[in-house]
Amino acid sequence: MGRWLFNIYRLGVKELRSLWADPILLFLVVYMFSFAIYAVATGAKTEVSNAAIAYVDLDQSDLTGRIVNAILPPEFDTAQRIELSDLEAAMDSGEYVFVLSFPPRFEADVIAGNYPSVQLNVDATAMTQAGNGAVYLQQIIASEINRFVTGDDEASALPINLVITAQFNPNLQSIWFSSVMQIINNVTILAVLLTGAALIREREHGTIEHLLVMPVNASEIMLAKIWANGLVIVIGAVLSLALVVQGVLQVPIAGSIPLFVAGTVLYLVSVTGLGILLATFTTSMPQFGLLAMPVLVIMNLLSGSTTPIESIPVWLQTVMQISPSTHFVAFSQAILYRGAGFDIVWSDMLVMIGLSVLFFAIALSRFRRTMATSQ
């Protein structure tokens, strides 16, 4: 056992030295846990922000003016008035996300109780902005019409006192979600790429033959690659949480970082095993990249890190339970967002342990066959 552990340690040190000597991979690790987190968190917002809006006013009344003046930043840009004849061309060109159209005698019909129609044209190619922005505009129009009809500039009291409490993200900022989830996604990507690249690098440099004649076995080689590359990823993830997420982006972390690290280590055993497994089916980095790309896309898109897992079909939810990323995302969200303890996340950790054993066993079996054919 002592010799086995020593071999794993020395081979892992060799892996770290190989990674240190590869400037491209080093740059990739630094970039993925720094600028990539910041750029996605600040650039890919899901809330409505500075949406371009225009209006067609065929009534030109006090009421339409009040509605237009109530459409304010930061959700919307200043509303631009256009002619009815320009509406279709403006929407086709993508110049505006929203265009309001007020009909003639709009104010008179409101006063008379004739329920006039206001047309809201929405460019739904930007789905999130379109959906949320349409709701905001409906609320603005309804509020201004209500105030105009009642003659009371104060909001009318509801028959109930509705108190909305947003848990875990009180200001509903997408940056709180996207920054942390980008770290989770990057852990998956790097775990697959680094371990797979490590095996491919052995073949391309001819050092795999050196390993075959050394008194080491396949499990020692695999575990060395897993702990060495996993260590780099864990350090990168923790530093990114502390420096980029909490430091630069000012996003609070609710739960225990040591518990998150423990779950990340369990997850890395399975996902690095997947990287080695994929690398055994390829002979070069381009082949490995083409094989890993669709696997990573599916794992990230259907893991719950981009959209809620409940939003995908039930049969696909069942299939995705065999993916370790699904359980790691649920585990990470519970700890980092909601401050969950071990008593809540133990089931996800137990599943990750089982999947780690399964993926490691499959990868080890395939790796042994690959080494046997190389001799």
Computed over its alpha carbons, how large is the radius of gyration of the chain? Answer: 28
Q: Does 9 share its domain with 126? A: no
Decide if 91 contacts 62 (C-beta within 8 A): no
Which of 150, 181, 208 represents a domain boundary (last residue)?
Answer: 150
Q: How far apart are CA 231 and CA 16, in angstroms?
A: 9
Decide if 275 contacts 293 (C-beta within 8 A): no
Q: Say if residue 215's pLDDT is above 60.
A: yes
pLDDT value at residue 262: 95
Is 253 strand, coil or helix? coil
| Domain annotation covers residue 155 | no
Q: Does 218 share its domain with 333? A: yes
pLDDT value at residue 375: 56
Q: Does 116 share its domain with 178? A: no
- Outline where DSSP puts E strands in the chain: 53-57, 80-81, 98-102, 119-122
| Domain annotation covers residue 158 | no
Cis bond before residue 252 (omega within 30° of 0)? no
Q: Does 204 share its domain with 345? A: yes
Q: Does 275 share its domain with 336? A: yes
Please say whether the dihedral angle defined by the alpha carbons of residues 92, 95, 99 and 101, taken in this order, is positive or negative. Answer: negative
Rounded to the nearest integer, the mean pLDDT of the chain is: 87
Q: Does 262 share its domain with 322? A: yes
Q: Does 283 share its domain with 135? A: no
Q: Does 35 share its domain with 138? A: no
Which of 92-101, 110-119, 120-129, 351-360 has the lowest average pLDDT? Answer: 120-129
CB neighbourhood size of 160 (10 A): 6
pLDDT value at residue 182: 93
Tell me what the mean pLDDT of segment 322-331 comes to: 92
Which of 115, 150, 185 represents a domain boundary (last residue)?
Answer: 150
pLDDT digits 0-9 by tens, 184-207: 999 999 999 999 888 888 777 767
pLDDT digits 0-9 by tens, 63-116: 999 999 999 988 899 999 999 999 989 888 888 999 999 999 999 999 998 889
Q: Which two tokens stand for residue 127?
A: 């789905």
Domain that holds residue 7: 2-44+173-374
Q: Within 101-153, where are the H helices? A: 106-112, 127-150
Q: Say if residue 155's pLDDT is above 60.
A: no
Structure pTM? 0.82
pLDDT band, very low/low/confident/very high, at 18 (cuts 50, 70, 90) = confident
| Domain annotation covers residue 160 | no
Number of domains in the chain: 2
CA distances from 274 to 210, 231, 299, 367 (A): 24, 17, 12, 11
Q: Does 184 share its domain with 131? A: no
* DSSP 8-state symbol, 55: E
pLDDT band, very low/low/confident/very high, at 172 (cuts 50, 70, 90) = confident
pLDDT value at residue 208: 67
Decide if 190 contacts 32 (C-beta within 8 A): yes
Q: Does 35 share its domain with 69? A: no
